[in-house]
Structure 1
Amino acid sequence: MKRVQIYDRAMCCSTGVCGPQIDPVLPKFAADLDWLAKQGHQVDRFNLAQDAAEFAKNESVQALLSSDGIECLPLVIVDGQIVSRSEYPSRENLALWTATAMPSNTASPKAVSPNRMLPIASDSGDCCSDSGCC
């Protein structure tokens, strides 16, 4: 199994899913990390406000923070390799980077073909015209 480390910007709590302004991507990402941990991977998440020592321990993280500032966060590291920076990755990317199979029921839905075509209005501007749509 893989070790996945996430280095987040300073947030009010460990997941960022608190406070008056919640970034809508954070609850989904928290669920994706929970899913990844349930697949057997070691997932460690560090918040700059609460875990500054963890940022200082990692030379790669230190180097990026020195060169790019906090704009490089969040950082995602898998087995010591930086795989993502400046954005939260999708569950599909997390699965790819950890060689984890995605269940078929989580795949994106396929486009559904219509059973019948609905009539459209004519160019005359009369929505009812002779199509019987009214």
Structure 2
Amino acid sequence: MPSIRIYEPALCCNTGVCGPELDQELVTFTADVNALQQQGIDVQRTNLAGDPAAFAAEPAVVAFLQAAGSEGLPLTLVDGATVLTGRHPSRQEMLRYAGLAPTDDHAELPLAGGCCSDEQDSGCCGGQSSTSGCC
């Protein structure tokens, strides 16, 4: 299965889903990544503030940053090839990158545990539970 790597700009935490004002796009993206990982899809995200060495270790990322700067992030690579820049991929796009046809069966994968779940102790939602599954 292809490896999907998303290189993100500096975020306040691993997911960017923290603090008093949540970015709904990051909440959705975090839930999508968690759900796909639960399905066995090889998708990883790397935060510039949290792991700058990972950025330096990938030649395609170094070249991208030299040309576009961190303002061009996020950057999505599939098996080392650039497939998307400037925004996070959707769940359907990541399924396609993984070689799976986005279908209705995959469109609504369950939310995985962690930040966007109903677990009150997840830490990202300020200890609040949500009936929708996200903060």
TM tier, smaller: 0.7 to 0.9
Aligned match of 2:86: 86
Per the normalisation by structure 2, the TM-score is 0.72
Uncovered stretches (5+) of structure 1, i.e. residues with no partner = 109-134
Per the normalisation by structure 1, the TM-score is 0.73
Structure-to-structure mapping, 1:23-102, within 5 angstroms: 23-102=23-102
Question: Against the structure 1 CA distance between its residues 106 and 36, is the aligned structure 2 distance closer, same or farther, given a 3 Å change threshold?
Answer: closer
Structure-to-structure mapping, 1:6-21, within 5 angstroms: 6-21=6-21
Cα displacement string for residues 11-57 of structure 1 (whole angstroms, at most 9, x for unaligned residues)? 11110000133221001111111122122222221110010000000
Q: Helix, strand or coil: the match of 1:37?
A: helix
Instruction: Tell me which structure has the larger Cα radius of gyration.
Output: 1
- Cα RMSD of the aligned pairs, angstroms, is 1.8
Uncovered stretches (5+) of structure 2, i.e. residues with no partner = 109-135
Structure-to-structure mapping, 1:119-130, within 5 angstroms: none
Question: Against the structure 1 CA distance between its residues 50 and 107, is the aligned structure 2 distance closer, same or farther, given a 3 Å change threshold?
Answer: closer
Output the amino acid matched with 1:23.
D
Number of equivalent positions: 108
Aligned match of 2:130: none
Structure 1 Cα separation of the partners of residues 83 and 21 of structure 2: 27
Percentage of identical aligned residues:
43
Structure 2 Cα separation of the partners of residues 103 and 97 of structure 1: 14
Q: Helix, strand or coil: the match of 1:7?
A: strand
Structure 2 Cα separation of the partners of residues 103 and 35 of structure 1: 15
Moved over 6 A (4+): none
